[in-house]
Amino acid sequence: KLIKLANNENPYGPPEGVVKAMNDAWKYGNRYAAPDGGIIDAIAEHHHVKPENVLIGCGSSEILKIVDDAFLPDHKLVVGVEPTYETVYRFATNSKAKAIAIPLTKTYDANIKEIIRVTKLNARDVGVVYICNPNNPTGRIVPKDEIKLLLDSIPGDIPVFIDEAYHHFVDDPNYEPSVKYVIEGRKVIIARTFSKIAALAGMRLGYAVAPKEIIDQLRPFVMAYNTNVIVKFGGVASLKDTANEARIKQLNKQIRDRVTNELKAMGYEVIPSQSNFFMVNVKKDVTAVAEEFLKKGFVVGRKFPPMTEWLRVSVGTDEEMKGFMKTFKEVFPAQPTAQTKAGN
């Protein structure tokens, strides 16, 4: 049986109350719409916005797709960093829009000043600015003052799309969620997902929060009946279960920090992460490394050009990560500057 450390999932699965809420909704399985558990209202309440500010999708994947549909037609530009979650750029290519991908800084952070410069330079053609915060695959945040700087610096009619899939794992005080800018009426689209901390990746539920006029532009592009009936009930139960969320956040941090400290002690460069994954510089092409891990039963992250020698590892359970460290030492027996050897 393979250990999956490849897709930034929650390895613990959804809590009992969420599973029960979904099981109770089976009876609607043959209906398209039926009761929806009040998911839109629950999300709106959670964010202190109106239901008209919320649009649910088949995972946040569908939100990424319809933002492309609505704002990135032929010849338009999306401005973002590289590497980031590549799906937005893939959809842009599909629709014959183009991506301007700004390299990360030396600390692997988003170069917000450069994003501002390039956006202003191409203002007429920029369909959307894409910020993944925290960023996948680096786990780095864009601090709140830089988000504000971005929004204050570019023309106010350019939508800024902030993907907060990994929001729940952050504990850096310099971070803040950006729904407040939606409430201020700025052209900001927030994407959230139930696939990460809520452990419902396989059940497909995500959403956008945005000003009403943007939601109205996005709505025609969602699929008829885009989400299954039972996950909506799961989503409502999940939003209420803050205790489980806190538990997962704490577990993730504890295991992530132990593993990354161990790797650093072995002499490996690790990017400090605010999420449920981290990147380690393995000084070797990631594709070959991933194949070696696979032979030993571990599925690790894909390659994120141009960081071709940085391996992205999703944080698994305590046991899974002990297995990962054991395997890491087998795959890389000659350790660059190893002086200490952490217990296992």
With CB under 8 A as the rule, give the number of residues binding a copy of itself: 47
Which pair of structure tokens corresponds to residue 130? 């894409």
Which residue from 65, 76, 167, 312 is in contact with a copy of itself, where contact means CB under 8 A? 65
Q: Enumerate long-range contacts of 250-259, CB under 8 Å, 24 or more apart.
A: 251/12, 252/169, 252/276, 252/315, 253/169, 253/171, 255/315, 255/316, 255/317, 255/318, 255/321, 256/315, 258/321, 259/313, 259/315, 259/321, 259/324, 259/325
Q: Does 294 bind a copy of itself (CB under 8 A)?
A: no
What does the alpha-carbon distance between residue 278 and residue 310 come to, in Å, rounded to a whole number? Answer: 10
The site map against a copy of itself for 45-64 (x = CB under 8 A) is: -------------xx-xx--
Among 42, 118, 200, 263, binds a copy of itself (CB under 8 A): 200
Give φ, ψ of 142 to 5 degrees: -95, 115
Measured distance CA(301)–CA(284) in Å, rounded: 14
> Does position 201 bind a copy of itself by CB under 8 A?
yes
Query: Which residue lies nearer to a copy of itself by CB, 202 or 306?
Result: 202
- Give the position of tokens 């803050």: 242
Q: Is 27 in the site for a copy of itself (CB under 8 A)?
A: yes
* Residue 18 or 77 with smaller CB distance to a copy of itself: 18
Closest distance between a copy of itself and the C-beta of residue 34, in Å?
6
Tokens in use for 132? 């993944």
Backbone angles phi, psi at 311, to 5 degrees: -95, 125
- Among positions 313-332, residues that touch a copy of itself (CB under 8 A) are none
Tell me the three state secondary structure of residue 57.
Answer: strand
The interface region with a copy of itself, picked from 6-14, 137-145, 149-157, 237-245 by CB under 8 A, is: 6-14
Tokens of 235: 């989503």
Does 227 contact a copy of itself by CB under 8 A?
yes
C-beta of 168: minimal distance to a copy of itself in Å?
Answer: 14
Residues in Cβ contact with 285 at an 8 Å cutoff, skipping those fewer than 6 apart: 303, 308, 309
Please list every residue from 166 through 185 that binds a copy of itself, using CB under 8 A.
none
- Give least dist CB 35 to a copy of itself, A: 10
Q: How far is the CB of 46 from a copy of itself (least distance, A)?
A: 21
Distance CA 28, CA 102 (A): 46
- Taking CA atoms, 186 is separated from 11, 190, 211, 291, in Å, by 36, 11, 7, 45
How far apart are CB 27 and a copy of itself at their closest, in Å?
7
* Distance of alpha carbon 215 from alpha carbon 58, whole angstroms: 16
Of the residues 74, 333, 340, 344, which one makes contact with a copy of itself according to CB under 8 A: 74
Q: How far is the CB of 59 from a copy of itself (least distance, A)?
A: 6
d(CA 110, CA 250): 26
Per-residue CA distances from 26 to 22, 234, 240 (Å): 7, 11, 20
Residue for token digits 């009992």?
A: 16
Does 207 interact with a copy of itself (rule: CB under 8 A)? no
- Which residues, other chains included, contact 290 with Cβ-Cβ below 8 Å and sequence gap of 6+? 299, 300, 301, 302, 303, 311
Q: Indicate whether 80 belongs to the interface with a copy of itself (CB under 8 A).
A: no
Residue 10 lies near a copy of itself (rule: CB under 8 A): yes
19 touches a copy of itself (CB under 8 A): yes
Exactly one of 4, 20, 180, 322 binds a copy of itself (CB under 8 A); which one? 4
Answer yes or no whether residue 307 interacts with a copy of itself by CB under 8 A: no
Does position 297 interact with a copy of itself (CB under 8 A)? The reply is no
Specify the stretch interacting with a copy of itself by CB under 8 A; choose among 128-136, 137-145, 179-187, 194-202. 194-202
Name the residues that contact a copy of itself, by CB under 8 A.
4, 7, 9-14, 19, 26-34, 58-59, 61-62, 65, 69, 73-74, 87, 90, 94, 195, 199-204, 220-221, 223-231
